[in-house]
Structure 1
Amino acid sequence: EEEEEEGLGLLSEPLTDGQRQELDLCMARVDNILVGKYKKAQLVSVQSNSGTMAPGKQLWTKAKELAKSMPKQLTELGPFELGSVSLEAIGFVKEMATPQYSISLDATPLACLSAYPTLGRYGCISPWDAITLEGGARERAGIPRDATFFAWAFPLPGIADIEDAAELLKAATPAELNGLSFVINGGFIYANNGFLPVAINAVVGLKAFYRGTSAKPLPAMTLPFDGPHKLPPAMRAKLESGNRFMGPTLPQMIKDGITGFTWVEPSDGGLKDHQSVDWRTGGFVYVYDDRRLDCFFRVSKE
């Protein structure tokens, strides 16, 4: 028992660089074994028929199920489809002393969320930053003319526990959809020169995390992204040291193995020393337990 407790204690300590390399090698070997078994099972199944070699088919089925449960790097993020949200309609308040916002679940567009008592009422907001999109890109993103600054509003805490979040969006009326989308998917807040919020654009279309489903179509305001790009390990360390990552907020993110994500604003001073990445339009970073899958997507200027 003492040896077992000692072993558990070692696992709780940070890994050294050498241990991390050994772990990466082990994971690579496991990946190769799984891929080999999958290919072998697939070959056996193709060569067999429905009446014979049932074990081969069973192995193939198990291999496919295992492959589905393995972490998957995002292959695309957008374009986001955006929809305008009335600040008053959802009881939106930007907290002055903290980087947070609050909403009212008593508001009509959000009434269906009152059935989820674990859902928070306060969400996090990134630091304000100057709007960098111009011309057609700014117009397509639906950025108001009187807006000078913007921030990303993260979804409310507890959204990941709502398994039927996609169904809530599908069942929403046109009057409810944008407000619900803001709470479930997040959105961009726009402010004037005095940092007073003047508009919210919610993400109403997020196909990367709602596979096989879609929100009701709305007039298109879109925000495209380029990527995925590999995230430099030093950049992840920088973001982690600043406690920048939020846990996955949607069930599909959890299924894909995403352990955290964040928004990096265009003028993020904390990343200025990483000249290999241009953040002038801002972007989203996604991280995994398997650091080889870490990636980011930048807002496209096109």
Structure 2
Amino acid sequence: MMLDRVAPTPLRAVPGPALPVEALVLGRPVAEAAALLPRLFNLCRAAQGVAAALALDLPPPTADIGAEIRRDHLLKLFVQLPGRFGRGDAPPALTGDAGTIRAALFGPAAAAPTTTAETDAFLASGHGLAPLLGRIAGCFGQGVACANGLPLAGPDTGTPAAENSPAARRAAHPALAHVEATHGRGPLWRVFGRALDLDAVLSGDLPAPRLLRPGTAQVPATRGLYTVTATQAGGLVTGVSRLTPTDHLLAPGGILALSLATLPADRAGLAPLLLDILDPCSPVRLAEVADA
């Protein structure tokens, strides 16, 4: 499909109003601010709590980021996305047997494919998540709703557009690299990447929370890498800022803008599914250009 010869969707993203995070914590004692930040948001509280504590030079809380990511991925892969197709089963156990979860992901082999041949065979198998992945691939097709070429988010990634997502964490996995080569960084790549991220999380394979520099912490989170920068004086917070995966998602020339630019106008009805796959952590609506 020659995407440069078809009209792109007229839809553009309109983010909701940002929460005035800095104003809510300025002047508060550091321990109080570190406890407040995760409670301001409904999502990724474990990741936010660890990042806030590290940035404010406090002992990190006993929060299990891996368990949080596992829970969120299970709900997305086995409830929310299948629900878009009129299906949706109870997810595998949120705790406990990793083998059960892997079988639900990849079928009887209970292991992710690792070669091109294994990946193609799995996607055609009808096992595990293959039916969901097949529906997504059938909806969008090769090269549709893709955000190719963005740098992968890392410790020095600032506010410009970057690929900050669960799939970015697993971009080097040979199975995901094959999907990227055949379909681009589109919906299939993103959902399959989330499944591979869940597989890795089951083994404890996540980047460690780290202090990038004094006052700036970065931790893994459900949607990618989450960064908090904070300053303090006399035990009180004097400044705080956050860089979230959704900031990268919504950046000019970022993931959502590129994905919409490669979504043909005759497939604009797929935009809500696309947004669900991209999974912003704050409200975003899609409006026609004339209304945005």
**TM-score of Structure 1 vs Structure 2, range by shorter chain:** under 0.3
Q: Which has the larger radius of gyration?
A: 1
In the superposition, the TM-score normalised over structure 2's length comes to: 0.24
In the superposition, the TM-score normalised over structure 1's length comes to: 0.24
Highest RCO, 1 vs 2 (Cα 8 Å, sep ≥ 6):
2
Q: Which has the higher strand share?
A: 1
